[in-house]
């Protein structure tokens, strides 16, 4: 019997009304929160993760468009926002985002799936009293990320806060004297539905992040780099000087650089390879399931007593079998009816591609031959001009410059 967890006393039990807030969440906020959580975790920083949300509020409609992380301080045992730092940073963000004008609409932090805890109340009350009376709370759930539910909802919940009658005081059953000025209301949170809206600029940035994520690689820590940098590499006996690992890495730095086109190609091929691996694993799973079914479900001709062996068969699930049959029925749409004509057409297109590639190679070779001929003609002309100049000026001396002129003996004879 499963043990039911106690309800969160900070969650409102009142029914949601039609006048509740309508939230429009932008992907840029999710990227900012994810980046902050990643940096905070990898740097092993201490303290809670808290940030502010910027957006627009038009009546009951709120948009969450930007976010930034916040500096915290401890006052009387409670963790709150650093007042002076937060006001300066908030004003800077307002100056940057003037068109359209954005304002503080709430804050975000890490929450359990059960909802806000008492240690989150000081920051929320500080924002309610000083900045926005209808501030919302965005709670990110790290445990939901570990579940890795494909196609599920985002691992976050958005809450609005209201002051409601304290249920603990009402359910105590004791008669109490009413006193003026005694607070009878408690701060309660209520979950809000939200939708994700994307602008053109955000679509470009999300696409860029998705493409770059396929090229992410692990990087060595700074301590390892420093130790490898200081150790010299001895190349053996001789007069060659010892070089450090840093100098050798500089020589091969240019070889590791990839162009943007190469990175996009690698990311695309990686995505296709992952999809093929997943398809192969699913096909193997279906094959193993069918192989472990009782023989009567696999073949119509089954010998009597074949199922009475000691082999443990997979329990038959007719819903799964119908899904497999529907999948096999759709294969006829992928495989052409006339396979011979399809193979002929495929071979024809392959030959066309190879012919175009061959023509491109021949054209490049002809261009290189013409370039070599042009350079040879230039060199040959230079040699001819040089030899003609040497014959005209007698070369290195004057002995050969009058070889073609008749002498005095020639005239007399």
Query: What average pLDDT does the segment 257-282 reach?
Result: 87
- Number of domains, the chain: 2
Beta strand pairing status for 103-110 and 50-58? antiparallel
Does residue 252 belong to any structural domain of this protein? no
DSSP H stretches of helix in 131-244? 142-147, 167-170, 200-213, 222-230
Looking at the fold, whether 48 and 195 belong to one and the same domain comes out as yes
Q: Which residue has the tokens 């004509």?
A: 341
Q: How confident is the model at residue 398 (pLDDT cuts 50, 70, 90)?
A: very low
CA distance 413 to 410: 5
Query: What average pLDDT does the segment 44-64 reach?
Result: 90
pLDDT in tens, 167-176: 555 555 555 5
DSSP code for 237: S
Structure tokens at 137: 């709370």
Looking at the fold, whether 48 and 196 belong to one and the same domain comes out as yes
Mean model confidence pLDDT for the chain: 78
**Of residues 311 and 402, more confidently modeled:** 311
Task: Please provide the distance, in angstroms rounded to a whole number, between the alpha carbons at the two ends of the chain.
Answer: 140
Other CB atoms within 10 A of residue 127 CB: 24
pTM above 0.85, yes or no: no
Does residue 387 belong to any structural domain of this protein? no
Does residue 106 belong to any structural domain of this protein? yes
CA distance 213 to 208: 9
Query: Of 50, 14, 359, 320, whose CA–CA distance to 190 is shortest?
Result: 14
Q: Between 260-291 and 318-334, two packed helices, what is the crossing angle to 10 degrees?
A: 130
Does residue 237 belong to any structural domain of this protein? no
Q: How confident is the model at residue 265 (pLDDT cuts 50, 70, 90)?
A: confident
Other CB atoms within 10 A of residue 49 CB: 19
CATH number for the domain including 138?
3.40.140.10
Residue 94 has pLDDT above 50, yes or no: yes
Does residue 79 belong to any structural domain of this protein? yes
Lowest average pLDDT, out of 75-89, 116-130, 174-188, 281-295, goes to 174-188
CA distance 274 to 266: 12
Range of the domain at 343: 335-379
Does residue 375 belong to any structural domain of this protein? yes
DSSP code for 3: P
Does residue 393 belong to any structural domain of this protein? no
- How high is the pLDDT of residue 153? 79
Other CB atoms within 10 A of residue 271 CB: 13
Residue 410 has pLDDT above 50, yes or no: no
Does residue 69 belong to any structural domain of this protein? yes
């Amino acid at each position: 019997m499963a043990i039911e967890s106690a309800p969160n006393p900070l969650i409102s039990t009142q029914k949601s009304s039609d006048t509740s807030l309508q939230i429009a969440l932008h992907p840029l906020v999710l990227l900012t929160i994810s980046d902050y959580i990643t940096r905070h975790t990898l740097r092993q920083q201490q303290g809670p993760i808290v940030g502010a949300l910027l957006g627009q509020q038009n009546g009951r409609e709120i948009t969450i468009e930007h976010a930034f992380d916040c500096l915290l301080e401890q006052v009387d045992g409670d963790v709150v926002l650093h007042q002076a730092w937060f006001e300066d940073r908030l004003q800077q963000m307002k100056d940057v985002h003037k068109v359209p004008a954005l304002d503080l609409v709430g804050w975000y932090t890490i929450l359990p799936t059960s909802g806000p805890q008492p240690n989150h109340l000081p920051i929320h009350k500080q924002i309610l009293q000083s900045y926005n009376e209808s501030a919302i709370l965005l709670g990110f759930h790290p445990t939901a990320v570990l579940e890795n539910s494909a196609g599920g909802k985002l691992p976050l919940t958005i809450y609005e806060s209201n002051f409601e009658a304290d249920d603990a005081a009402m359910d105590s059953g004791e008669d109490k004297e009413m006193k003026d000025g005694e607070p009878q209301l408690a701060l309660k949170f209520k979950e809000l539905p939200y939708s994700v809206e994307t602008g053109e600029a955000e679509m470009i940035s999300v696409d860029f992040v998705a493409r770059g994520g396929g090229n992410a690689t692990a990087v060595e820590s700074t301590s390892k780099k420093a130790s490898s940098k200081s150790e010299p590499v001895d190349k053996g006996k001789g007069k060659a000087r010892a070089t450090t690992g840093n100098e050798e890495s500089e020589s091969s730095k240019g070889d590791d650089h990839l162009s943007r086109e190469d990175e996009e190609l690698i990311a695309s091929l990686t995505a296709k390879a992952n999809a093929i691996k997943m398809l192969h694993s699913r096909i193997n799973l279906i094959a193993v399931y069918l192989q472990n079914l009782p023989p009567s479900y696999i073949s119509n001709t089954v010998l009597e007593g074949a199922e009475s062996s000691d082999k443990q068969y997979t329990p038959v699930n007719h819903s799964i079998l119908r899904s497999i049959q529907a999948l096999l029925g759709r294969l006829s749409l992928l495989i052409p009816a006339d396979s011979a004509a399809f193979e002929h057409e495929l071979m024809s297109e392959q030959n066309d591609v190879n012919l175009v590639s061959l023509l491109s190679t021949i054209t490049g070779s002809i261009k290189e031959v013409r370039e070599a001929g042009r350079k040879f003609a230039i060199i040959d002309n230079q040699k001819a001009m040089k030899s003609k100049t040497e014959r005209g000026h007698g070369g290195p001396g004057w002995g050969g410059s009058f070889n073609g002129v008749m002498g005095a003996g020639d005239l007399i004879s």
